[in-house]
Structure 1
Amino acid sequence: MWHVAPVWIAGNANVGTVAVGAAGVALGADLLWIIIAACAGSAFGAIFAALHSTQGPHLGLPQLIQSRPQFGYAGAGGVFVLALVNYIGFNTFACILAAQSLSVGIGLGKTASVLAVVTISAVIALLGYNWIHHATRWITPAFLISFAVLTVVAVGSDATVAAVAPIAHGFAWTPFLVVFGLAAGYQINWAIYVSDYTRYLPPTVSPRSMFWCTYLGMSLSSMWLATLGALLAARFVPGDAVAGVVAAGDAATAGFGRIVVLIGLLGLIATMAMNTYGSTLTLISMLDTFRDIRPTARLRTVAVLAVSAVVILLTFLASDDFLSSFGTYLTLLLYLFAPWTAINLVDYFLVRRGRYSIAQIFKADGIYGRINGRGLLAYTLGAAAEVPFMNTNAFIGPVTDAIGGADLAVFVGLAVGGTCYWLSYRGYDFAGEEAVLRSDNASGAPISATKSGRLI
């Protein structure tokens, strides 16, 4: 079970995480509060992803398939679409950074860089679950050593103090919540497929231990690199995470910056491989919603190639204004997935308490139905409740505008989505579902029926 932690450490071990902290400096906010916001956001967002990870050993299912009891067999299709957009969008941003890293590291041109990183990540995704685990175990030690040196350089000289001194504007809610949202969104992004990497563990694994292995690996690595990103942007190159890493590395010793960038590149490739693997499962699940299909090696290959082709196309079409686009993208992701993660966790821990018929989840006419109006309504209400509290480049909600720009949408979406779903099941008679679970159990069909989904 311990090897789950390196998966999420390696997932954050790249300049994309550094860019989260660097984006805060680009806002002109106080450095201390940027760091506090990034750490708080990382700690907050990782809670949800780690809770989802405990579902993997218990249910043995890809994360998004678990949405069918909440939204229905066909209703979960909307979640699949959002997830696919997430995978492809995140891989596009990662590919942009990876291409920059290869250009800086070995002078490779953009076209060759993009094709190289997409091809490598696609091959790892095709090799599957075990290869992703193996890759992250090799990447993690190299990351820890190189970025530790980088951190010493970033905080260990008078130049840092001199660079930070002008950035002392005091506390302000708006930039604090922007950075908090970026860091939280970066971690909640993992929630849609975190149990994909725990579902092969035995059901006897302790949920508490599973939670902490995921949470600590994910949150601590994110806090570290987001803080490092803020320090590098303040001292070296504002607005360019890759250039900041190179400058800090070269400040330690000539040429070390390129080495660190290339090690960070390995983390980006690992992240892209995880996203490609997850998008393949999602795409196949979408197709399975409309007709029964077998996830053969050929189908997986076609799915990987299709997703990779879209990522390549979008990478060449994407804007060069990476930090601005990246921040907007993460904010929108947080808006979209906050109600979903609340609904999924409330269903698992509070409503059904971990009691599911795995066989029925794969039946279009099963006990969970084609459309679950309760889940869809709760999601709609949660998402709609966020609108007045949003703060984006294109739209500022009226409540946010009235309180000076503080973006509270994610808190509202989580609370309203989760609460509405929980209330919709108050008094619901689960006798029919229990009867099916007993029948499936008697017939040998797979079920997941514990007394509780709590972390005990």
Structure 2
Amino acid sequence: LWPVWFSGDAHLATLAVGVLGISLGGNLLWTAVAVVAGCLLGTFFMAFHSTQGPQLGLPQMIQSRPQFGYSGALLVWGVAMIAYVGYNAFNQVLAAQALHQLNGSISPTSPTAIVLIALGAVALAALGYDKIHAAQRGFAYLMIVILTVFSVGALFTLSFPAVQWDPAGFRGVPFLAQLFAAASYQLSWSIYVSDYSRYLPRDVGVRESFWWTYFGAFVGGAWMMLVGTVAAAAAPKLDVAAAMEHAADAVLPGLGRVLLVGALLGLVTISALNFYGASLTLLSCADTVKPLRCTAGKRLVSLAVAFVASNAIALSSSSNFVNRFEDLLAVLLYLFTPWTAINLVDFYLVRKGHYSIREIFNPAGMYGRWNWRGLTAYLVGFAVMIPFFSSGLYTGPIARALGGADIAMLVGLPVAAGVYLLVCRSLDLKLDARRAAAADVGLEPGAPSAQTA
């Protein structure tokens, strides 16, 4: 698992996350601390979602049906589509900036470049999981070499004003914005993290799947974000791609272009991963409304829909990239926080991993079409966060009173988890377990439904 999630983070979009604290006026020291803390927090929840894959053999979003209901899970899948399409749109914008740095004749907002990057990613996604995994595994080793050369060289060649390292330069708003941006970015992997761990045998333990996921995602995420932080501190007036090339060339002439090419290839592979996840999600949504049998043709149609949507957003978001990217991360944090609390509490504390695979795919089954418990906990968890929201789109009254500091995640997680635990007290878990066991009689342990293949 570690190559998938290391290379999943080793690209320009991850680097752009590390720029946010510097762009808001934070210094290098405290922005770096915020990056590491945010990655520790967000990856923690992501890795726990990964452990569900080998146990159930199901895509991550399908696992939301026991908490939200057969049709109620559409709420969560809608959130997932925002993440898939939103991230790919910004990946395409960043890729165009990188191509401009590599070839000045290409405009940084070139529609042709934006669309071609998406085409490459869709082509890789159409080849399937095995090809994506193989590409990411090889790319992970390449990026380790490139990042090691840059990081070691930066320690000896780059210098910064003393103010960048001053502990007294702490500023709350940039620090919290950077911390929760990093946490949100890592947490957003949760929507499909078990889509890849589900292929592992069931005897792979929770500990192994947790730590290999955590190790790969944390190292790849924190390392690449810190490269972005260093690049932004070294050249604060340049865009993301230009700042990275400038910083890397200061370490070793010509390294900037090498790092840029590596990060650009990373954008293609992670965009392929997003298109693949978007395809699964769209097919699951369609199957919820009207049962269908997945075919190669339907997969291609779902990929085409995701391709069109991401291009539409990318072509309208190529200006003012950093601010719009920050807004996307904030929105995803707000939307995912209640879901991750509910999903993990249900898996580890309420049902303790005991689900009926067959009933998850039964619209009239034991989990119901609309599960009021999960939906109530989600809506309450989301609602209590609203006064704490702080983004370019909306700032709540409590966030304003705190000087713009965003602590919504710290409020939403415990509230959503607590409400879900409370409403599940009326759930007869012994009956639930007996019904699940009876429904799955004859089903090979660990074997996913044919609908998930």
TM range (shorter): over 0.9
Aligned to 2:384: 385
Counterpart amino acid of residue 58 in structure 1: Q
Q: How does 1:332-347 map to 2 (within 5 A)?
A: 332-347=331-346
Aligned to 1:265: 264
Structure 1 regions of 5+ residues with no counterpart? 450-456
Range moving further from structure 2, 370-379 or 148-157: 148-157
Take 1:441 and 1:23, find their aligned partners in 2: how far apart are those partners? 48
Preserved CA contact (<8 Å) 1:25 1:234: yes
- Secondary structure of 1:354's match? coil
Deviation at 1:197, TM superposition (A): 0.7
Deviation at 1:169, TM superposition (A): 5.7
Preserved CA contact (<8 Å) 1:58 1:199: yes
Aligned to 1:123: 123
- Secondary structure of 2:294's match? coil
- Secondary structure of 1:355's match? coil
Deviation at 1:52, TM superposition (A): 0.4
TM-score by length of 2: 0.94
Counterpart amino acid of residue 371 in structure 1: W
Take 1:295 and 1:353, find their aligned partners in 2: how far apart are those partners? 30
Q: How does 1:149-188 map to 2 (within 5 A)?
A: 149-157=149-157, 159-162=158-161, 165=164, 170-188=169-187
Preserved CA contact (<8 Å) 2:29 2:164: no
Take 1:448 and 1:305, find their aligned partners in 2: how far apart are those partners? 32
Take 1:187 and 1:243, find their aligned partners in 2: how far apart are those partners? 24
Counterpart amino acid of residue 147 in structure 2: F
2:53 is the counterpart of 1:75: no
2:201 is the counterpart of 1:211: no
Deviation at 1:112, TM superposition (A): 3.2
Deviation at 1:405, TM superposition (A): 2.5
Distance 1:354 1:40, change over 3 A: same
Structure 2 regions of 5+ residues with no counterpart? 448-453
2:347 is the counterpart of 1:330: no
Could you list the per-position Cα deviations for residues 191-249 of structure 1 after superposition, in whole angstroms to 9, with x for gaps in the alignment?
Answer: 00000011111000011011000001111221112122111111124452211111122
Deviation at 1:119, TM superposition (A): 1.2
Take 1:148 and 1:60, find their aligned partners in 2: how far apart are those partners? 36
- Secondary structure of 2:159's match? helix
Over aligned residues, Cα RMSD in angstroms? 1.8
Aligned to 1:298: 297
Preserved CA contact (<8 Å) 2:70 2:370: yes
Deviation at 1:161, TM superposition (A): 2.7
Q: How does 1:340-379 map to 2 (within 5 A)?
A: 340-379=339-378
- The alignment covers a number of residue pairs equal to 444
Preserved CA contact (<8 Å) 1:186 1:330: yes
Q: How does 1:306-317 map to 2 (within 5 A)?
A: 306-317=305-316
Take 2:129 and 2:397, find their aligned partners in 1: how far apart are those partners? 45
2:27 is the counterpart of 1:30: yes
Preserved CA contact (<8 Å) 2:53 2:198: yes
Counterpart amino acid of residue 127 in structure 2: L
Counterpart amino acid of residue 101 in structure 1: A
Counterpart amino acid of residue 112 in structure 1: T
Aligned to 2:450: none
Deviation at 1:144, TM superposition (A): 1.1
Counterpart amino acid of residue 392 in structure 1: S
Q: How does 1:10-49 map to 2 (within 5 A)?
A: 10-49=7-46
Aligned to 1:454: none
Deviation at 1:160, TM superposition (A): 1.8
Distance 1:117 1:167, change over 3 A: farther
2:93 is the counterpart of 1:103: no
Deviation at 1:100, TM superposition (A): 1.4
Counterpart amino acid of residue 49 in structure 1: M
Distance 1:117 1:170, change over 3 A: same
Distance 1:300 1:232, change over 3 A: same
Counterpart amino acid of residue 83 in structure 1: A
Range moving further from structure 2, 58-67 or 432-441: 432-441
Deviation at 1:95, TM superposition (A): 0.7
Aligned to 2:91: 94
Could you list the per-position Cα deviations for residues 354-402 of structure 1 after superposition, in whole angstroms to 9, with x for gaps in the alignment?
Answer: 0000000001001000000010000000000101111112322222222
Distance 1:312 1:163, change over 3 A: farther
Aligned to 1:251: 250
Deviation at 1:327, TM superposition (A): 0.9
Preserved CA contact (<8 Å) 2:30 2:167: no
Aligned to 1:452: none
Aligned to 1:275: 274
Aligned to 2:451: none
Could you list the per-position Cα deviations for residues 258-317 of structure 1 after superposition, in whole angstroms to 9, with x for gaps in the alignment?
Answer: 221011011111110110000000000000111110111000001111111221222111
Take 1:169 and 1:122, find their aligned partners in 2: how far apart are those partners? 47
Preserved CA contact (<8 Å) 2:23 2:236: no
Deviation at 1:120, TM superposition (A): 1.4
Distance 1:164 1:135, change over 3 A: farther
Aligned with 1:65 (options 59, 62, 65): 62
- Secondary structure of 2:355's match? strand
Distance 1:402 1:164, change over 3 A: closer
Distance 1:114 1:36, change over 3 A: same
TM-score by length of 1: 0.93
Preserved CA contact (<8 Å) 2:21 2:174: yes
Aligned to 1:140: 140
